[in-house]
Amino acid sequence: MTAARLPGLARTRPPRRVPVRLVLCLLPPVLVAVVAVRHRSVLAEGVRRLGTAEWPWLAAAAGTTCLTWVAAACTRQGAVVERLPRRRLLAAQFAAGAANHLLPTGLGASAVNLRFMTVCGLPLARSSAALALYLLAEGAGRLVLLVALLAAFPGALRLGVLLPEGSLGPLAPAAGALLLAAAAALALVRRLRTAALSFLRTALGEARAVHTRPARALALWGGALAFPALQAAGLVLVGRALGLPVPAAHTALAYLAATVAVALVPTPGGLGSVEAALVPALVAVGGPAAVATAVVLAYRIITVWLPLLPGALTLGVLVRLKVI
């Protein structure tokens, strides 16, 4: 006689497990709420500053922010030979922006795009190589624009104002120690050295394949230059909305220099570190401190906080639909 037929013996059902995908769908909005509570004073002050701005300029800044996702999608497409689904690629960049503000700088967006490319059928090794190519192109584009503006306006900005006094002293030994540790690991661990060489060969092959196609190379480097240029243009427009008495080129220079400086500080999306670098950068190019603070707060509301919840919800939907 089976256990189910024994008198008085109730059937027991196995406990229901919460699907992992459901947890991943709900996690981004929860993280948004946590981050918003932690930065509630900044949010409140930024919203108050927006109330005193000229709305046509703010609308233009919001439109420019939307174009940054298009530029990111172009750069991502340019990093791979295969054609990626355009709408899903653009949605993934919008979601990746939210993920980037919830995790240490670069990790959120990189994880989302790595998963997106593997779901699209690219092997993990090639997806990783494409991701590395994108990061290289984006960093190079930002540095090219910064160097060009520094050459055009050599006396507009003192780079020393972007980092606290004495901060370069600890950074240099720390960077040297990391490089030495990485070199020692590669020299001593054969498996790690083999994996690194294999990845390097894959990355070089992917870069060669991309640059044999003019359309892909144009998308890669055009998007890499357009992305930071659009970000800087957004700050210029917010400055106009709040009456910042600084030339547009100097404002763009301050933005590019500040974002390069905060790349040394691995905070989620640069939260906190971007504001700390941007305000003195705008002051260094001639902006009054009060107005510069207002501009930075309003700019971060438009570029970070307003898209954050929709981006997190988009991320959850993409996870639910198995796009990422």
Q: What is the rounded CA–CA span in Å between residue 107 and residue 235? A: 24
pLDDT at 312 over 90: no
CB 303 within 8 A of CB 231: yes
Count structural domains, the chain: 1
Residue 14 in domain: no
Mean per-residue pLDDT, 5-31: 56
DSSP code of 245? -
Position 245 scores a pLDDT of 92
DSSP codes, 124-179 = HHHHHHHHHHHHHHHHHHHHHHHHHHHHHSTTS--GGGGS-TT-HHHHHHHHHHHH
Residue 185 in domain: no
Position 296 scores a pLDDT of 87
Q: Which residue has the higher pLDDT, 101 or 4?
A: 101
Q: What's the mean per-residue pLDDT of the chain?
A: 80
DSSP code of 9? -
Q: Which residue has the higher pLDDT, 108 or 192?
A: 108
Q: Which residue has the higher pLDDT, 307 or 102?
A: 307
Which region among 24-33, 46-55, 190-199, 288-297 has the lowest average model confidence (pLDDT)? Answer: 24-33
183: number of Cβ within 10 Å: 10
Half-sphere exposure for 191 (CA within 13 Å, toward CB): 0
Residue 290 in domain: yes
Q: What is the rounded CA–CA span in Å between residue 90 and residue 85? A: 9
Position 209 scores a pLDDT of 93
Residue 2 in domain: no
Q: Which residue has the higher pLDDT, 68 or 169?
A: 68
Q: How confident is the model at residue 21 (pLDDT cuts 50, 70, 90)?
A: low
Residue 173 in domain: no
Which region among 3-17, 57-71, 140-154, 204-218 has the lowest average model confidence (pLDDT)? Answer: 3-17
CB 58 within 8 A of CB 50: yes
Q: Which residue has the higher pLDDT, 302 or 267?
A: 302
Q: Is 8 left (phi over 0), alpha (psi -120 to 50) or beta?
A: left
pLDDT at 260 over 50: yes
Q: What is the rounded CA–CA span in Å between residue 228 and residue 64? A: 11
Position 166 scores a pLDDT of 47
Position 28 scores a pLDDT of 58
Position 11 scores a pLDDT of 55
Q: Which residue has the higher pLDDT, 264 or 248?
A: 248
Position 63 scores a pLDDT of 95
Residue 171 in domain: no
Residue 179 in domain: no
Q: What is the rounded CA–CA span in Å between residue 45 and residue 284? A: 23
pLDDT tens track for 275-296: 777 888 888 888 888 888 888 8
Position 197 scores a pLDDT of 78
Q: What is the rounded CA–CA span in Å between residue 308 and residue 324? A: 18
Q: What is the rounded CA–CA span in Å between residue 169 and residue 175? A: 11
Q: What is the rounded CA–CA span in Å between residue 28 and residue 319? A: 11
Beta-ladder partners of 268: 104
User: The domain containing residue 301 runs over which residues?
Assistant: 21-161+191-319
Position 9 scores a pLDDT of 47
Q: How confident is the model at residue 64 (pLDDT cuts 50, 70, 90)?
A: very high
Residue 1 in domain: no
pLDDT tens track for 183-241: 666 666 667 667 777 778 888 988 999 999 999 999 999 999 999 999 999 999 999 99
Q: How confident is the model at residue 265 (pLDDT cuts 50, 70, 90)?
A: low
Q: What is the rounded CA–CA span in Å between residue 225 and residue 72? A: 10
Position 26 scores a pLDDT of 60
pLDDT tens track for 136-192: 999 999 999 999 999 998 877 765 555 555 444 455 565 566 566 666 666 666 676
Q: What is the rounded CA–CA span in Å between residue 231 and residue 256? A: 9
Q: What is the rounded CA–CA span in Å between residue 255 and residue 235? A: 7
